[in-house]
Amino acid sequence: MANRHRPGNTGDWAIDQRGTDQRTPRCVSCVDCATATQRWTRRSDPGPHWHLVPTRNGRNQHRPELVGRHPHPDCCTTQRLLDEDPLMTGETIVVALLMAGLGGGCLFLTLLTLPGNWAILILVGAAQLWSLSGDGAPLYSGWTLVALFMLAILGEVCETAMGAAGARAGGARGRGAWGAVLGSFAGALLGTVLLAFIPLAGTLAGALIGAAVGAFIGEMTYGDRSAISLVLPAAAAAAGRMAGVIVKFAFGVAIWLVAVIGALWN
């Protein structure tokens, strides 16, 4: 994968093998290139140095030039146009297709209250590590990774909060709301095991039932309401939990889109 460095401007840059950046104040000639290079590499070890050159599509790319006097007069940074550096390559298209397919499966897991959004982030991390192997440039920028992580966090917060908000809307008090949250987590775990005969959907069913039972038990601890009157808070807690799953799924779709598009236009 091509190296794609994006400094703040398109001035003349060179970088040696040890990673030391140097900026020249003007468009250098071939002789100046050879002379300046001696500041970055030893005469006894004349390795390649690099120019940051503009490409035909307006982006910048590092390309090596051998130390010494060049036979051509147009080797300097601002005069030479090298091969195009396309926005999309065959590798990025393949990664984007894999991300679209596997990420879509992860979205289905999110609907079942499983950690599908985090599974997409694991795929993104694997793709990022693959792109960094060897001398490749990162597939995703740092800001893209931060945005994906924040979307996943917000999805979890909204899912949890909406379960408690549903119980509150049904008349539950503090213990009932907390019971809905804790019951939802416990129900999801138990549903995965006890309702395993319902493929995958057992986790979702367990989470909804757990939210209702948790809100019911939480309200019963107050001892001032009949069991019949607690049905509404319990049902509202289950409805809120389901609404939270839908909202979390929406965040998952956003994560999936950013992951796919980011692989194409990194």
**4 contacts 92 by C-beta, under 8 angstroms:** no
175 by Cβ neighbours in 10 Å (0-12 / 13-18 / 19+) ranks as middle
Distance CA 9, CA 39 (A): 23
Distance CA 202, CA 131 (A): 37
Where do the domains of the chain lie? 1-85, 92-264
pLDDT over 80 at 155, yes or no: yes
Instruction: Output the pLDDT for position 134.
Output: 60
Closest to 187 in 3D by CA, of 162, 160, 156, 212: 212
Give 106-142 pLDDT, tens digit per residue: 998 888 888 899 999 999 999 888 888 765 677 888 8
Instruction: Output the pLDDT for position 221.
Output: 82
Instruction: Judge if pTM exceeds 0.85.
Output: no
Stated as kind and residue range, the H or E segment containing 172 is none
pLDDT over 70 at 96, yes or no: yes
pLDDT over 70 at 254, yes or no: yes
Q: Percent of the chain, pLDDT > 70? A: 63
